[in-house]
Structure 1
Amino acid sequence: MKKILVVEDELSIRSFVCLNLKKKGYEVREAETGEMALNLFQLETFDLVLLDLMLPEMDGFEVCKEIRKTDQKVGIIMLTAKTQEKDKIDGLVMGADDYLFKPFSLKELEARVYSLLRRMDASSTALKADKSLSSGPFLLDLLNKKLFKTGSEIKLTPTEYSLIYFLMRHENQVYSRDELLDEIWGVSYAGDFKVVDVNIRRIRQKIEENPSSPEYICTDWGRGYVWMGSVNET
């Protein structure tokens, strides 16, 4: 059973979300402040966090940042009433996997939760007989969902892992943002395509010697993104 933490200070919204997630078979915990959420993280393990942006005292940006310091594996969906471009980008840069604008429908919430959990599991269920992918200084451990560069682990969020896994699987093939949205986020995803750009930017910051002039995840201008180089399966 997947375990979800709902962090929302408005009781009516929190109760509505928690009740319906429980009806869908998820195990749910709830917190009304960022401090309560971080305290729960010290005691329990979660698969996904629904994180409100406008929390009292410690906002969702700061909570997300603190979570990512110790946990790159948990999925994070930001809940926000703000619609400005900067707020969306800031949340993704901090390490969120997705965002959902208030007011949202129950159907949309369930779809986003299902989509993120699905892609967190997808790479492990599609491993076939392969145990790793290697390319240049990189080794992608498929069994443990870990990336290593010259032997040192590079921490990836679930979405970052899914992206790098897909691009390495299809090395030297260019994929547009729309194609990556369909492959990674799902064909029913209704969010902004800039979620692809921000995640690519985050990955480059982690793996490239010079992120502004990448060697591995490159941009084919006007077409999309591509993993450059030979990839070996073992």
Structure 2
Amino acid sequence: MQILVIEDEQRVAELIQKGLQELGFQVTLAYDGEMGKRLALGKVFDLILMDLILPKINGIDLCRQIRLTLPNIPIIMLTALGTTDDKVDGFDAGADDYLVKPFDFRELHVRIRALISRNRNLTNTFNQGFILRFANLEMNLETKLVKRNEEPIDLTPKEFRLLEYMMANPERVLSRTEIAEKVWDTFDSGTNFIDVYINYLRKKIDRNYPVKLIHTKPGMGFIFKEG
């Protein structure tokens, strides 16, 4: 597995490289956003780890720029900033996961494996041209187009992933813990970023329609159903 690590602190970058190599990964290092972008777009990687605060191109802008060309590559942000707003900004930029420094390499390994596995499964699904449908809502996993009653809906990458999981598990209560593990590939459900994204989806999916699809089960989680 080829991993690109974009980290401006050389000592930290080399420690991450050493730890990942011991886990069996091939690691390429970049020490600023411009170098990271050039490598990310010029070579095939299975996953990208990037710091949030980088010289030349910061992590948020870099993530957005990489996503324009590589919409499906797994991206994990590494940062010392761990507030809900920081996480939302990272996810909105297209990050798949968010790991706060310092972190345990065992946890990083679990998240890397989960993201790479999910990406392979999604690639197989894309190749089949798979479309999810529920009520008058349609999601094309290959073109990333979402429509309700034939009206297009613009979603961020993380909103898309959350809606995809809900549409794949309709009429079943989804706990915050399950959503954190399956959509964000994280075991951290202690912050309210899940509720933030549920509210984002409600505004885009339900606000203009009399029949609501996203419902809250107090004390339990959320359920995707007509009614």
The two structures have a TM-score, normalised by structure 2, of 0.76
Superposed counterparts of 1:63-74, under 5 Å: 63-74=62-73
Q: Which residue of 1 aligns with 2:3?
A: 4
Q: Give the letter aligned to residue 216 of structure 2.
A: D
3-state SS of the aligned residue for 1:166? helix
Contact kept in structure 2, 1:215 and 1:228, CA below 8 Å:
no
Q: Which residue of 2 aligns with 1:226?
A: 223
3-state SS of the aligned residue for 2:55? coil
> Which whole-Å CA distance do the structure 2 matches of 1:79 and 1:219 have between them?
33
Contact kept in structure 2, 1:132 and 1:140, CA below 8 Å:
yes
Q: Give the letter aligned to residue 227 of structure 1.
A: F
Q: 1:36 to 1:148 in 2, by over 3 A?
A: same
Contact kept in structure 2, 1:73 and 1:156, CA below 8 Å:
no
2:134 is equivalent to residue 138 of structure 1: no
Give the count of matched residue pairs. 222
Q: Which has the higher contact order (CA 8 A, sep 6+)?
A: 1
Q: Give the letter aligned to residue 194 of structure 1.
A: N
Unaligned runs of 5+ in 2: none
Structure 1 residue 194 displacement after superposition? 3.5
> Which whole-Å CA distance do the structure 2 matches of 1:130 and 1:44 have between them?
26
Q: Which residue of 1 aligns with 2:39?
A: 40
Structure 1 residue 121 displacement after superposition? 3.5
Contact kept in structure 2, 1:116 and 1:185, CA below 8 Å:
no
Superposed counterparts of 1:26-37, under 5 Å: 26-37=25-36
Superposed counterparts of 1:1-234, under 5 Å: 2-122=1-121, 131-135=130-134, 136-141=136-141, 144=142, 146-149=144-147, 150=150, 157=157, 162-185=161-184, 189-190=187-188, 192-200=190-198, 208=205, 210=207, 218-220=214-216, 222=218, 223-229=220-226
> Which whole-Å CA distance do the structure 2 matches of 1:131 and 1:82 have between them?
37
Aligned Cα root-mean-square deviation (Å): 3.6
Structure 1 residue 138 displacement after superposition? 0.8
> Which whole-Å CA distance do the structure 1 matches of 2:124 and 2:140 have between them?
15
> Which whole-Å CA distance do the structure 1 matches of 2:143 and 2:8 have between them?
33
Contact kept in structure 1, 2:6 and 2:13, CA below 8 Å:
yes
Q: 1:122 to 1:201 in 2, by over 3 A?
A: farther
> Which whole-Å CA distance do the structure 2 matches of 1:9 and 1:60 have between them?
11
Contact kept in structure 1, 2:202 and 2:214, CA below 8 Å:
no
Unaligned runs of 5+ in 1: none
Q: Give the letter aligned to residue 219 of structure 1.
A: H
* Percent identity between the two aligned chains: 31
Q: 1:70 to 1:155 in 2, by over 3 A?
A: farther
The two structures have a TM-score, normalised by structure 1, of 0.74
> Which whole-Å CA distance do the structure 2 matches of 1:90 and 1:27 have between them?
29
- 1:107-136: per-residue Cα shift (whole Å, max 9, x none)? 222222223223334556799x99543232
